[in-house]
Amino acid sequence: AQSVSQHNHHVILSEAASLELGCNYSYGGTVNLFWYVQYPGQHLQLLLKYFSGDPLVKGIKGFEAEFIKSKFSFNLRKPSVQWSDTAEYFCAVNANNAGNMLTFGGGTRLMVKP
């Protein structure tokens, strides 16, 4: 069965700092990869997704993620965070032989200090 690990549970940054959130998955086959964000009091929203092609994926609000197949990783990055990026970030994987179910990581709570 696939699993997803997010190693950073809590991250605190100052505005304008660069962000990288780690995501690793365990599954040997083809996967689709997602990052979702949950702002305080709101629902899960898709930031970006990878299913094929260029392993560097650009999403909304200046976020990007890079799929490195050899490392089973899909890390999320943003060069300069803003206070409004304070939220919880979830990595999720859909293995192609697992139907449509998403397997989520444990989430990373990001706090950006103004």
Partner 1 sequence: EPEVTQTPSHQVTQMGQEVILRCVPISNHLYFYWYRQILGQKVEFLVSFYNNEISEKSEIFDDQFSVERPDGSNFTLKIRSTKLEDSAMYFCASTTTSGDTDTQYFGPGTRLTVL
List contacts with partner 1 (CB under 8 A). Answer: 4, 32, 34, 36, 42-46, 49, 51, 90, 92, 94, 96, 99-107
Nearest approach, Cβ of 15 to partner 1 (angstroms)? 27
Q: Which is nearer to partner 1, 42 or 70 (CB)?
A: 42
For the chain, how big is the Rg over CA atoms in Å?
Answer: 14
Nearest approach, Cβ of 9 to partner 1 (angstroms)? 10
Strands (E), the chain: 3-5, 10-14, 19-21, 24-26, 31-38, 45-50, 56-58, 64-68, 73-78, 87-95, 103-104, 108-113
Nearest approach, Cβ of 92 to partner 1 (angstroms)? 8
